[in-house]
Amino acid sequence: MASPIARQTYPETSLPGSLDESELMTGEAVSLDLRPTGFVLRAAGAIIDFLLSIGIYLLAVLALGTPLVSGALDDATRAALNIGALVFCVVVIPTAVETITQGKSLGRLAIGARIVRDDGGSIGLRHAFIRALTGVLEIYMSLGGFAAFAALLNGRSKRVGDILAGTYSQNERVPRLVDVPLAIAPQLAAWATTADVARMPDALARRVSQYLRQAARLTDESRDRLGHDLVNEVARYVSPVPAAPTIDLLTAVSVVRRDREYRALQLEGDRLERLEPALEGLPHGFPDRG
């Protein structure tokens, strides 16, 4: 068990409400948690799409090379058709597939990803065409070298086509949440009745929840280190900060925050229920023509 955390002045971390790179602030000031696809997954999906495009092109070349087709075409026409087949496989097909499926492809279906705009919306023909056109250079001509170099230098693993088109790869496979029963430790029961727990940023609250779900599977060193870092951030929204073990403190803060927000929602629902007759009723003497 981690050692109790003494009351102290905690260092400044991120500003309250600040967004990390995986979050998006909508026009209604709502923070959306959009997870970019990691570099390794993007590479795996790109390899699948690359092999599929090359396979289709090779099939087209073999079809053009059959005696029946090649005998009816001269060399210039056959060369033009080969170039047309190449353009069709590496530009037209990817553009059409991404436009119709709104950012999907066979490789991205396999890894659970989708290409979206930087604001989280679905891509259109323009975005898909820019990505496919730049992909000729950074994926096919360089065998993925340019794309990998750009993705490694970008926080969202964007390749050059994504930067020019204003898109990125969003991870759509969310791990299944495991419910962990949370209860306040007996030594913190009195503190919980009077503690002032302010609203924490959603990203920080999610990190605390993930830590509490995974704490049992972490090593002692990792659990203590991650827990201490989280306490340093959570302490800015809690007053007073009790002297308690890391897991007990984070659990108590989560339970207090959960219970108070649940009670607030219940009170709001009760008020709306009492106001429902006045909101839905007709004025005195007004005929009901519905």
pLDDT tens across 190-242, in order? 888 888 888 888 888 888 888 888 887 888 888 888 888 998 888 888 888 88
Answer for the pair 195, 256: CB distance below 8 angstroms, yes or no: yes
The 3-class secondary structure across 70-85, one letter per residue, is: HCCCCHHHHHHHHHHH
Answer yes or no: do 123 and 43 share one domain.
yes
- Of the listed ranges 85-94, 117-126, 135-144, 172-181, the least confidently predicted one is 172-181
Are 159 and 185 found together in one domain?
no
Highest mean pLDDT among 27-36, 116-125, 258-267: 116-125
Considering 139, 171, 203, which residue would you say is the last residue of a domain? 171
Question: Do 122 and 226 fall into the same domain?
Answer: no
- 197: number of Cβ within 10 Å: 19
> What is the number of residues in the chain?
290
> Are 148 and 119 in the same domain?
yes
The string of pLDDT tens digits covering residues 103-123 is 999 999 999 999 999 888 899
Chain centroid to CA 151: 17
Half-sphere exposure of 47 (CA within 13 A, CB side): 8
Reported as a pLDDT band with limits 50, 70 and 90, residue 251 is confident
* Domain end point (choices 171, 201, 216): 171
Query: Do 155 and 271 fall within a single domain?
Result: no
> Where does the pLDDT of residue 2 fall: very low under 50, low under 70, confident under 90, or very high at 90 and above?
very low
Residue with tokens 């023909």: 125
- pLDDT band for position 146 (50/70/90)? very high
Per the structure, the count of domains in the chain is 2
Mean pLDDT of the chain: 82
Are 70 and 120 contained in the same domain? yes
Which 3 state secondary structure label does DSSP give 117? strand
186 assigned to some structural domain: yes
pLDDT digits (tens, 9 = 90+) for 181-192: 677 878 888 888
- pTM of the complete model beyond 0.95: no
Quick check: is 75 in a domain? yes
Domain of residue 148 covers 33-171
Q: What's the pLDDT score for residue 18?
A: 42
Where is the domain boundary, 171, 201, 231? 171
Instruction: Please state, as a whole number, how many other Cβ atoms lie within 10 Å of the Cβ of residue 244.
Output: 19
Q: What is the pLDDT of residue 28?
A: 45
Q: At what angle do helices 220-234 and 202-214 cross, to 10 degrees?
A: 160
